[in-house]
Amino acid sequence: MLVQECGFARVADLATRFQVSTVTIRSDLQALERRGKLRRIRGGAVPAGVESSEQPFEASALTLASEKARIGAWAADMVASGETVIVDVGTTTTAVARALLARTDLQDVIVFTAALNIALELEPAYPRITVVVTGGTLRPLQHSLVNPLATVLLSGLRASVCFIGCNGVDAQGGITNINLPEAEVKRAMLLAARRRVVVADGSKLGEVELAKVCDIQEVGRVITDQTADPAIVSEIEAAGCAVEVAR
């Protein structure tokens, strides 16, 4: 099998090689993954048993930066004064935090976050925006706080809205993440909010990663950018989740 021979196969390259659509390739990869023949990762597939390599926050921040900024601004427009907001870790959610900082019209907003960098991003907005850090165990790669103790505070919250980042958004595979400890916290964040929003650049759509956060139907909205494959967007919408393309 090509994936075994090369160690990695890109969705786009497979579509060109076999002269079919990327949607067909993703469907075929899903079927092969269910049979244990390979493991899907962002942009393609690797042999079964191969672990994904996670990029540090600073490296990920360089990818699709302008698209993430547009997603962040679009998401921040959903927030009103007086609301309580949960902001997840990650580069796209950091863009949400920066857009909230720029919303000088906001007053009496409380932001809960498990990201130390996001807490610092929002510090200049005090007292318009009050920041509460969830606590937990530091994970330096993403400047994030994870279990043990990361979900204790979240279990007692009922926030207005949460913004979750991830590594994969797929109609069948759901919302997934590359890292297991962070996936646990993301799940707790979703359960702690009335409105559940995933922010993900176009490269994440149609991808499935190691750790499942939730089914696609458990999320009310996905905000992405114009690089997203329209066919994948349609699949997600057909599965019961609204998709908004930030412009």
SS3 for the chain is CHHHHHCCEEHHHHHHHHCCCHHHHHHHHHHHHHCCCEEEECCEEEECCCCCCCCCHHHHCCCCHHHHHHHHHHHHCCCCCCCEEEECCCHHHHHHHHHHHHCCCCCCEEEEECEHHHHHHHHHHCCCEEEEECCCEEECCCCEEECCCCCCCHHHCCEEEEEECCCEEECCCEEEECCHHHHHHHHHHHHCEEEEEEECCHHHECCCCCEEEECHHHCCEEEECCCCCHHHHHHHHHCCCEEEECC
Distance of CA 117 to the CA centre of its chain: 17
Q: Please say if the pLDDT value at position 1 is more than 70.
A: no
Phi–psi pair at 240, nearest 5 degrees: 110, 15
pLDDT reported for residue 83 = 98
Least confident stretch, 97-101, 126-130, 207-211 = 207-211
Distance of CA 173 to the CA centre of its chain: 13
Beta pairing class for 144-146 and 44-47: unpaired
CB 80 within 8 A of CB 110: no
Short-list 99, 109, 43, CA closest to 71: 99
> Residue 137 and residue 150: Cα distance in Å, rounded?
7
pLDDT reported for residue 62 = 79
pLDDT reported for residue 46 = 72
Angle of helix 91-102 relative to helix 65-76, nearest 10 degrees, comes to: 50
Q: Please say if the pLDDT value at position 20 is more than 80.
A: yes
Mean pLDDT of 97-105: 98
Per-residue confidence at 109, pLDDT binned at 50, 70, 90? very high
Enter the tokens of residue 157. Answer: 């919250």
Per-residue confidence at 182, pLDDT binned at 50, 70, 90? very high
pLDDT digits (tens, 9 = 90+) for 41-72: 666 777 776 555 677 788 788 788 999 999 99
Least confident stretch, 53-67, 154-168, 219-233 = 53-67
Per-residue confidence at 13, pLDDT binned at 50, 70, 90? confident
pLDDT reported for residue 219 = 97
3-state secondary structure 18-33: HCCCHHHHHHHHHHHH
Enter the tokens of residue 172. Answer: 């069948």
Share above pLDDT 70 across residues of the chain, in percent, rounded to a whole number? 94
Fold designation for 57-245: Rossmann fold (3.40.50)
93 or 42: which leads in pLDDT: 93
Phi–psi pair at 193, nearest 5 degrees: -130, 150
CB 240 within 8 A of CB 217: yes
pLDDT reported for residue 196 = 98
Q: Please say if the pLDDT value at position 10 is more than 80.
A: no
Mean pLDDT of 132-156: 95
